[in-house]
Structure 1
Amino acid sequence: MFLKERELSALLEITQAINHDPTEDALYKIFQFTLLGQLNIRRLVLYVKEESSWHCVVSFGAGLPDFRRIPLPDTINETCTSNPCLVPTLHLGGEWEKLEMVIPVVNNGEVMAYVLIGNVHEDYVSEEATKFLETLSNILIGAIENRRLARQRVEAAAIRKEIEIAQEVQTMLFPRNLPNDSHVAVHASYVPHAAIGGDYYDVVPIDAERFLFCVADVSGKGVPASLLMSNFQAGLRTLLRQQADLGTVVAELNNLIYRNAVSEKFITAFFGIYNRATRELQYVNAGHNSAILLTDDNEHQLLADGTTMLGIFEDLPFLNTHRVQVPPRSLLLTYTDGLTEVFDEAEGEFGEEGVLDFLRNTHYLPLPTLHRELLAKIKDFNSKGANFSDDITILSCRFK
């Protein structure tokens, strides 16, 4: 009768503690002192399974080493899977000799914790008593696991919200209208690899005759990449409103990225300014894939010159702006490396040559159709089908 009263007192202490919603560490402490005070268990070690790894969260008793520094032996994990085990039968070594029993705490057929006890009250050697200890431990571990799951749900919801905001920000970065007039037509396609990509494209009118277009790729993905792209776009448009020339735009963007990038992030980009009146294209390639200029007779020019990637150096080591005359009925294709870094079953790369071969045969297709067929082409080529390993951005200009 006295034993039952102590068990009820122990159960009451644990349930009251759970209802008061303390921290996990506080719950472990309450569990420890409840077993000590109500059940007279003098030595206690508790191992808990967290994300497939075992951690000692309680180590208490005279003469015991600090089990927080000692891994759970494989013998316990392999032997005590459902019923209590006597420690001497496990041959664990001298560190464990003052512990007498291992009680597995099982939930849905999986061991979630091990309670190891020593120097117990003589009443606590019966099967009924160890069952109560197992039940008490199960209540504690279940409550802590529920807290952990609830915390994970809150964290997951926060991450989802963060991703939603970043996606909205990224969508707002892309231009809503692209030029399509008697001089030039522009079309863009964007295929993100993950929820938040690291690619960016933009088309910005400068005056009645000129517009700037840009394709860029941030190292890395996710929210940090999206935020850096947001800074990049804001800086680009501010500089254009100040009527800065292309060389100044690129140099100042490099400075902006160098000051704001974290975790060694950088940006590669292709910048072009087209003048409808003079048919002149001024460009800077900042460590990006070469833009392809394909003329009416299927001759091509790779626009590769300019500078290095942005954000690596405080001051760009070199910066050259280039000008080319664009013949009538030419096609310009700019893209990010997700388009070319696609591999077939033999690990052959689609590459720049694959893009060129495709363009020579589809030069005069309407731009939306051209983009759609190019994406279908690399999907067929890709050994993983539509599961591309990177974001893909294509921006093309047809000069009339």
Structure 2
Amino acid sequence: MLKQRKRWFEVLVYAISTIGFIAVSYFLILQITKEIKIIPFCLLEFSVLMFFLIASSSIIKAVTKAMEEKVLKKEETKYLQLFIDSLRFCYTLEDFYEIIQRILEQKADCSVLYMDSEKEYVLYNSPNRITNDKDVLRTLMNNFPATWPDGFDFVGDKLGITSRYKKARGFVISHEKFHFFVLCRYTRFFDTGIYNTLVEEFYRFRKRTQTIASLSEIAGLSKEWEQLAETQRLFLPEVMPDTKRLKIAAYFRPLVNVSGDYYTALPIDEHKTLLMLGDVSGKGLPAALIMGLVMNTVKIIEDKEDLIGIVRAIDKAIKGMKLQDKYTVLFISVVDTQKMTIRYVNASMSDPLIVTRAPDGYTIKPLSSNCGVVGIIDIDDIRIDEQRLFRDDLILFASDGVSEVMNDEGVELGDTDLYTETIKNSAAKQPQEFIDDIVNLIFDYKGNNKLHDDITMMVTKVVS
């Protein structure tokens, strides 16, 4: 793109210079008299020609330099930022290679080499002369061995480390003996402030792929489900955050060792907290993978008040995994204790509700669905609804494993007055006490029947 701009500009300048030279020459010819000899005229013409050549060259040099500064400093760094943004949603090596091709190679005109330095094995290389050159590969392996420390460094013309940023021909990111080389003639134009962000996202990508690979290996080879469950629980919060005007508690009981249920509470600022609970379709490893994917997606998104953006990012991430018939229902919200509101997207969760005090006791206000399931069908419109909150309001999020517990007659708990009355009677209690009451109700209600689904709850109370 920059080459074309420079080439067209050169053609334009030389065309204007040629026209100018012809015009001046014609004017001089008209001024010639019989007293003027041919030699002085030729010298004058030569001087005019040199003037136009020097002027054209100077203009081209100055303008193309300014063009490089403007285009490359802004546009090339923009492509590197686009690569970082896309890297946040890569969960497999296939995803990684796709954004290398689409962004670094096609848009930024870079050459890429990704390798396992310990095994001296090339995982990916761009289809061009530089990264396919055996001498280049050998030089990089010698200069950046497996013992090279984690971090990033600039690569010089001789393909070794260089401290002269303006002379750099590329850069390398090293992480646990894996090296990611990006070679580009315009490395000096990348904004230096972007490299630390790129390194962090590359590390996160590597850890995500390692986690997913570990889950698959454990489930597919060793069947050590307890180890798999421990790995999965790392995605869930160990303790709920201590917020100024909210008290939060949670309960998580998978039917088997692994689960598709998930929840989180993430403080945004002094007054706002993101609350989410969801349930992935199906059971076993695929559900566990999607659960981890959703949690990671929410964690890495910077603007946690953008509920629509978060839901669309989750939708894109699940579809990108290409696991057949996998989707999630979820409830995601932002509670603002300054404005005393809850803004939410309910993607087909059936049980979220607010329990609020009224003159004649507690009343239940459902937080109705306003979005379809996420990850399998196209989502056209996502609506954000808002509800007013009051002091001592209790917010209950629960997976359908709670309301669908059956008694001996096959009646679901969520369809009974007993469930509703227990919620109202326990609404004045603290969140953990409320959860204890609901859990006791579940196990009393089911009797000798077996549970058929995961049980997950998160309860939040607005306090003064």
Give the TM-score taking structure 1 as reference length. Answer: 0.57
The answer to whether the 8 Å contact 2:259/2:284 transfers is yes
The answer to whether the 8 Å contact 1:280/1:326 transfers is yes
2:340 to 271, 279, 283: 279
Within the alignment, does 1:268 sit opposite 2:332 as a pair?
no
Counterpart amino acid of residue 192 in structure 1: P
Once the two structures are superposed, residues 339-386 of structure 1 have per-residue CA deviations (whole angstroms, 9 ceiling, x without a partner) of 01111111111115543221111111222222122111111111435x
User: 1:306: Cα distance to partner?
Assistant: 2.0
Look up the match of 1:84. none
1:230 to 292, 295, 299: 292
SS in 2 for 1:262: coil
Distance 1:305 1:258 in 2: 21
Distance 1:253 1:326 in 2: 27
User: 1:160: Cα distance to partner?
Assistant: 4.7
Percent identity, please: 24
Counterpart amino acid of residue 163 in structure 1: W
Counterpart amino acid of residue 254 in structure 2: P
Counterpart amino acid of residue 365 in structure 1: K
Look up the match of 1:69. none
The answer to whether the 8 Å contact 2:305/2:334 transfers is no
Distance 2:458 2:242 in 1: 13
Look up the match of 1:293. 354
Once the two structures are superposed, residues 238-288 of structure 1 have per-residue CA deviations (whole angstroms, 9 ceiling, x without a partner) of 22x245611111122112112214121110101111112111110010011
SS in 1 for 2:258: coil
Within the alignment, does 1:355 sit opposite 2:422 as a pair?
no
Counterpart amino acid of residue 246 in structure 2: V
Unaligned runs of 5+ in 2: 1-216
The answer to whether the 8 Å contact 1:228/1:261 transfers is no
C-alpha spacing 1:244/1:334, structure 2 compared with 1 (3 Å): closer
User: 1:232: Cα distance to partner?
Assistant: 0.9
1:338 to 391, 401, 407: 401
C-alpha spacing 1:242/1:184, structure 2 compared with 1 (3 Å): closer
Unaligned runs of 5+ in 1: 1-154
The answer to whether the 8 Å contact 2:348/2:373 transfers is yes
Distance 1:157 1:260 in 2: 17
User: 1:182: Cα distance to partner?
Assistant: 4.3
Counterpart amino acid of residue 212 in structure 1: L
Counterpart amino acid of residue 366 in structure 2: L
Distance 1:301 1:261 in 2: 37
User: 1:177: Cα distance to partner?
Assistant: 2.8
Look up the match of 2:388. 325
Look up the match of 1:368. 432
C-alpha spacing 1:379/1:178, structure 2 compared with 1 (3 Å): same
Distance 1:206 1:193 in 2: 32
User: 1:181: Cα distance to partner?
Assistant: 4.3
Query: How large is the RMSD of aligned CA atoms in angstroms?
Result: 2.1
Look up the match of 1:184. 246
The answer to whether the 8 Å contact 1:200/1:216 transfers is yes
C-alpha spacing 1:251/1:352, structure 2 compared with 1 (3 Å): farther
C-alpha spacing 1:181/1:205, structure 2 compared with 1 (3 Å): closer
Once the two structures are superposed, residues 53-107 of structure 1 have per-residue CA deviations (whole angstroms, 9 ceiling, x without a partner) of xxxxxxxxxxxxxxxxxxxxxxxxxxxxxxxxxxxxxxxxxxxxxxxxxxxxxxx
Look up the match of 2:236. 174
Within the alignment, does 1:201 sit opposite 2:268 as a pair?
no
Counterpart amino acid of residue 300 in structure 1: I
Distance 2:241 2:341 in 1: 16
Distance 1:376 1:326 in 2: 28
Distance 1:322 1:294 in 2: 17
Counterpart amino acid of residue 439 in structure 2: L
Once the two structures are superposed, residues 38-66 of structure 1 have per-residue CA deviations (whole angstroms, 9 ceiling, x without a partner) of xxxxxxxxxxxxxxxxxxxxxxxxxxxxx
Counterpart amino acid of residue 284 in structure 1: V
